[in-house]
A = this chain, B = another copy of it.
Amino acid sequence: MQFELTKEYVSELQECLHDNLAAELLNEVNLLHPADIADICDELSPEEVVLLFQCLDREIATDVLVELEEDVREKLLKNLSSKEIAENFIDNMDSDDAADIMAELSDEKKDEVISAIPDAELASDIVDLLHYPEDSAGGLMAKELIKVRINWTLIQCLREMRKQAEDIEDVYTIYVIDIQDKLIGMLSLKKLLLAPNGATVKDLYFDEVRSVKAYEKSDDIASIMEKYDLVVLPVVDELNRLIGRITIDDVVDVIKEEADKDYQMASGISESVDSTDSVRVLTRARLPWLLVGLLGGILGALVIGQYEDTLQIYPEMALFIPLIAAMGGNVGVQSSAIIVQGLANNSLGFDNLIQRLGKEFLVALLNGLVCSVLIFIYTIVYKDSNELAATVSVALVLVIIFAGLFGTFVPLMLDKYKIDPALATGPFITTMNDIVGLFIYFGIGHLMYIWL
């Protein structure tokens, strides 16, 4: 079932929904993949989403609810009673999805829904999961998994699996535990399937298994699963007892979100937005950094104001203000991007701060000299002013070196003090480098004017 979402399809569907038609189109929606139905809901009004959900089979509706964008889901759940949410949706979900959705509800509604969940075991699993922070292993894991004891025979295994596996859609690995519930190994379905008669778990299991503790951070989990090519990762408590498993699909979402967030921060957008958000949300997400830029611009004006007399003697210095400001900003963004990405990918190597700054100094010096020679030649040829040429080219190389060092230093420091280094890229670095760049430029211009 390849499905392509078109504007025509959505309008046809909207017509059916509004005219309250028991149209074939509405029945056919049930044949689509829940992720596709969620995409359709993105294009509908909140009222239309409620109407569409009434046409969905219960099982499909549950899967669609999990896939919905958070804001669409929020509006839908507001229209439903706690009892409906618990019985029609939560009760059919995996514990991790259920906990994620519950975490979005108000405290009051959360309590109501939990006490209305018919399946007591699921309710208790959800309460457990809600204790973990959203961005920890505990917040990512599902409680559903298949575990067998080390001393079981394969027949026992299969019998137990039949019992346990019913609720679990994708079984990748069976975990092996000892009598204290401690995780001691794993068993692949392939091994089990191809095992000779009479074998026991002990004969077949693999006694090395990578696991994580429940409190570990989700971005560390993502690095581990990415690095070791894992599809599923067991989660243990402090006593190494198996308490859940994390699957790669949830981690792919974490990787994607992290990357999107860094990109948006580097671009000066302060909340996660996309182009379908309202004008109000988009404006709010973008204004904070513009105000930082505005403040930077005012500080820049103050710097230039300090050197008004220099500017009067060398009015031509005004020509290269944008050049100096832009180059400082560009170099700073480049340097900080390399550090931010290195931190995110754990690929910075072992250099210490001094070595790193030393290397950045060399790179900046090289780039600076190339740019500086070019602008020197341009200024001599077209402006025919030795003083201006000297000022601009000396200032440029110094600005590039400063911006490189500053762009390297700031994210490393932020990281050291546990602040997201991605904050440093984008407008903040650009703005700071603008200001310092102007200082350097006019400072040198001023010295020229004293000397000559």
Name the contact of A266 in the complex, choosing from B189, B266, B325 (C-beta under 8 A): B266
Residues of B within 8 A of A323 (CB): 293-294, 296-298, 300-301
Known interface pairs A323-B297, A431-B326; A286-B172 also in contact (CB < 8 Å): no
The answer to whether A356 touches B275, judged by C-beta atoms less than 8 angstroms apart, is yes
Instruction: Please measure, in the bound complex, the distance between the C-alpha atom of A192 and the C-alpha atom of B171, giving whole angstroms.
Output: 12
Closest to A2 in B: B210
* Residues 211 to 250 of chain A near chain B (Cβ within 8 Å): 225-231, 248-249
Residues of B within 8 A of A359 (CB): 275, 279, 282
User: How many whole Å from A67's CB to the nearest CB in chain B?
Assistant: 9
Q: In this assembly, does A198 line the interface, its C-beta being within 8 Å of a C-beta of chain B?
A: no
Instruction: Please measure, in the bound complex, the distance between the C-alpha atom of A96 and the C-alpha atom of B286, giving whole angstroms.
Output: 44
Instruction: Please measure, in the bound complex, the distance between the C-alpha atom of A259 and the C-alpha atom of B2, giving whole angstroms.
Output: 26
Instruction: Please measure, in the bound complex, the distance between the C-alpha atom of A275 and the C-alpha atom of B323, giving whole angstroms.
Output: 27
The answer to whether B248 touches A252, judged by C-beta atoms less than 8 angstroms apart, is yes
B-contact 0/1 string along A12-51, CB 8 Å cutoff: 0000000000000000000001010000001100000000
Name the contact of A267 in the complex, choosing from B248, B268, B334 (C-beta under 8 A): B334
Name the contact of A252 in the complex, choosing from B252, B276, B427 (C-beta under 8 A): B252
Instruction: Please measure, in the bound complex, the distance between the C-alpha atom of A102 and the C-alpha atom of B79, giving whole angstroms.
Output: 58
Q: In this assembly, does A390 line the interface, its C-beta being within 8 Å of a C-beta of chain B?
A: no
Name the contact of A259 in the complex, choosing from B259, B287, B425 (C-beta under 8 A): B259
Chain A residues bordering chain B, tally (CB within 8 A) = 117
Name the contact of A341 in the complex, choosing from B188, B274, B366, B426 (C-beta under 8 A): B274
Name the contact of A194 in the complex, choosing from B158, B301, B400 (C-beta under 8 A): B158
The answer to whether B286 touches A334, judged by C-beta atoms less than 8 angstroms apart, is yes
Instruction: Please measure, in the bound complex, the distance between the C-alpha atom of A231 and the C-alpha atom of B334, giving whole angstroms.
Output: 35
Known interface pairs A171-B189, A249-B231; A341-B260 also in contact (CB < 8 Å): yes
Residues of B within 8 A of A35 (CB): 227-229
Q: In this assembly, does A86 line the interface, its C-beta being within 8 Å of a C-beta of chain B?
A: no
A264-B341, A297-B327 are known contacts; what are 14 more A-B pairs with Cβ within 8 Å? A35-B229, A161-B194, A248-B252, A263-B263, A263-B266, A263-B337, A267-B338, A274-B341, A274-B348, A275-B339, A276-B348, A298-B375, A312-B315, A326-B434
